[in-house]
Amino acid sequence: MMDLSECLTEDSEIFLISNRPKKKSIRDETRPVKIFHKDFNHAEFIGEELCAIHNIRCAHYFIVGVGEFDLRRMSFYGDITPTEYDFQIASNDFKRPNRKYHYLRQYQFDKHMNKFSMMLEKTKDEENEHKLCVEMLNLIALDIYMGQVDRYNENIMFEEDKNGVLRLAPLYDFERSLKQNYIGEDTIYDSELYSFPNIEECKKFIKRYPMFRDILASYLDVDIQEITQRAYNRRGLIVPESKWEFYKSFETKRKEIINKIVQ
């Protein structure tokens, strides 16, 4: 939908890294933080901003210049030679020491139960169950608003601390959302965690988890153009004027569906 070259300005912040394989250090603490980088996608920045205003943990995305040398320093686009770098987006490894991390696919499930309910059964206690429930409800509401179509087993990760407290790991990978082919009324949400084939099924889910209605309804107050502007400003980027009509149209259609669910 959008090319990064359309968004860069002289003041765009770029983190300079190398694409060459790195030698492993003998001691873990001497290793630089692992960086995951990929082609630019506008939805990553917007997803992070939406997470911030809804108090959802997620990966932090920034612009990298991938070149010959692993400089590991921040620079401005106006101060470097663009032809020497391939500009992409990246995030640091969010995994923390003394925590266990598992993809959704790594858990054992009863094929007759939904994975949302079964993950709640794996919590340590009632307090943990409630907090994990809220985190997963926030995930689903965010995905519905963004039209996420790629929340498969390896795009959902859980974090367990040394006391056995289970929670949703920081979210990542929003790239297959905010597209013209977003999920419509025929399938409200489809993921490995939970799926709503239609609005009526989503209403049934709300009866079971009443707080989900308020979480989802909160997106009716979101201004996607304001969110996008803020996300790009943080990185010294501009949003091409030609893209604003898409955001307005996208938000209008998503809010129409959300209104039908929560009314």
Name the pLDDT band for 236 (thresholds 50, 70, 90). very high
Q: Is residue 70 part of a domain?
A: no
Question: How far is Cα 218 from Cα 251, in angstroms, rounded to an integer?
Answer: 13
Name the pLDDT band for 186 (thresholds 50, 70, 90). confident
Q: Is residue 136 part of a domain?
A: yes
Range of the domain at 141: 100-223
Closest alpha carbon to 235 in 76, 99, 5: 76
Q: Is residue 207 part of a domain?
A: yes
Q: Structural domain tally of the chain? A: 1
Residue 157 is encoded by which pair of tokens? 């990760």
Task: Say what the pTM is.
Answer: 0.92
In the predicted model, what is the mean pLDDT of the chain?
91
pLDDT at 41: 92
Q: pLDDT tens for residues 59-113?
A: 999 999 999 888 889 999 999 998 999 999 999 999 999 999 999 999 988 877 8
Cα–Cα distances in Å, from 97 out to 15, 106, 205? Answer: 24, 20, 36
Q: Is residue 132 part of a domain?
A: yes
- Classify strands 100-103 and 61-67 as parallel, antiparallel or unpaired: unpaired
Q: Which helix H or strand E contains 100, and what residues bound it?
A: strand 100-103
